[in-house]
């Protein structure tokens, strides 16, 4: 099942995958919209009550601060809170399925989220706000992995490397140039992600950070349990989940 916020691009991706022999369904969902996340989770579980894999890959970079209909800064909502909510809504089904995997696609950011200003109301710097969401992915992954220990469900973070996609089209020109020069194709970047998602050798790995299917050390702050738990509590509150 492929979830995407752009219905036309999502349908086109599904068509491309089907032409290669893949069996893929499309479900429209905007992870920046919490109501849309809830509707998508319900629709997904209605069709697939025993999922074995969840890959959270949504991301957006914006040069200027935008606010969603929920009153959230859009990068924070799309890159962290939407996947956080979706994961929670699917978690019971993943546990019931057994031997399931959750992968959060992120990057080795060293930016510390400002817990007193998660929505960047007082100060918004686009690259800093984006980097904070990538750190939030790591904090969330390790907090989730700790809770899933021994459950049969694993949670890991994956850094796909720099890829030539439209993600950073609003970034400063030097960064766009470097991405174009040094980035790999999307097809090549996804290969090690698929390995971590499907190969038996990764089945029991939990709470790890991978790059090119090799375990790497996360930034030190990502392992700060107090920071993990504070983000977890704040995310539960902002997503409207019980604490």
Tens of pLDDT, residue by residue over 99-126, are: 999 999 999 999 999 999 999 999 999 9
- State the pLDDT at residue 199: 98
Is residue 229 over pLDDT 90? yes
Between CA 107 and CA 85 the distance in angstroms is 20
CB atoms within 10 A of CB 17: 14
Q: Sign of the C-alpha dihedral, residues 11, 170, 183, 106?
A: negative
CA 161 to chain CA centroid, Å, is 14
Between CA 135 and CA 137 the distance in angstroms is 5
pTM value > 0.85: yes
Please, how many CA atoms are within 13 Å of residue 74, restricted to the half-sphere of its CB?
A: 13
Is residue 136 over pLDDT 70? yes
Beta strand 214-215 with 209-211 is antiparallel
Q: Where are the domains of the chain?
A: 50-239
Residue range 14-71, pLDDT digits in tens: 888 888 887 889 999 999 999 999 999 999 999 999 999 999 998 999 999 999 999 9
Between CA 94 and CA 106 the distance in angstroms is 21
Residue range 62-110, pLDDT digits in tens: 999 999 999 999 999 999 999 999 999 999 999 999 899 999 999 999 9
Per-residue b or e along 64-95, where b marks 16 or more CB atoms closer than 10 Å to that residue's CB? ebeebebebbbbbbbbbbbbbbbbbbbbebbe
Residue range 158-201, pLDDT digits in tens: 999 876 677 778 878 777 767 776 667 778 889 999 999 999 99
Provide the token pair at 42: 């319900």
Query: CATH homologous superfamily of domain 50-239?
Result: NAD(P)-binding Rossmann-like Domain (3.40.50.720)
Q: The tokens 């970079």 sit on which residue?
A: 61
Rounded mean pLDDT of the chain? 93
- State the pLDDT at residue 160: 92
- State the pLDDT at residue 158: 98
């Amino acid at each position: 099942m492929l979830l995407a916020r752009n219905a036309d691009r999502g349908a086109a991706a599904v068509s491309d995958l089907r032409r290669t022999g893949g069996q893929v369904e499309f479900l429209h969902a905007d992870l920046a919209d919490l109501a849309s996340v809830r509707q998508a989770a319900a629709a997904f579980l209605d069709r697939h009550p025993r999922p074995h894999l969840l890959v959270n890959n949504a991301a957006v970079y914006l040069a200027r601060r935008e606010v969603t209909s929920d009153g959230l800064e859009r990068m924070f909502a799309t890159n962290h809170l939407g996947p956080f909510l979706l994961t929670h809504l699917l978690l019971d089904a993943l546990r019931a399925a057994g031997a399931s995997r959750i992968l959060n696609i992120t990057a080795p950011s060293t930016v510390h989220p400002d817990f007193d200003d998660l929505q960047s109301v007082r100060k918004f710097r686009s690259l800093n706000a984006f980097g904070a969401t990538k750190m939030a992915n790591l904090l969330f992954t390790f907090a989730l992995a700790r809770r899933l220990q021994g459950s049969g469900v694993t949670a890991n973070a994956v850094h796909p490397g720099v890829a030539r996609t439209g993600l950073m089209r609003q970034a400063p020109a030097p960064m766009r140039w470097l991405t174009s020069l040094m980035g790999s194709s999307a097809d090549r970047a996804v290969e090690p992600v698929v390995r971590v998602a499907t190969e038996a050798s990764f089945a029991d790995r939990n709470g790890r950070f991978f790059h090119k299917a090799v375990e790497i050390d996360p930034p030190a702050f990502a392992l700060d349990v107090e920071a993990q738990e504070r983000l977890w509590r704040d995310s539960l509150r902002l997503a409207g989940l019980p604490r």
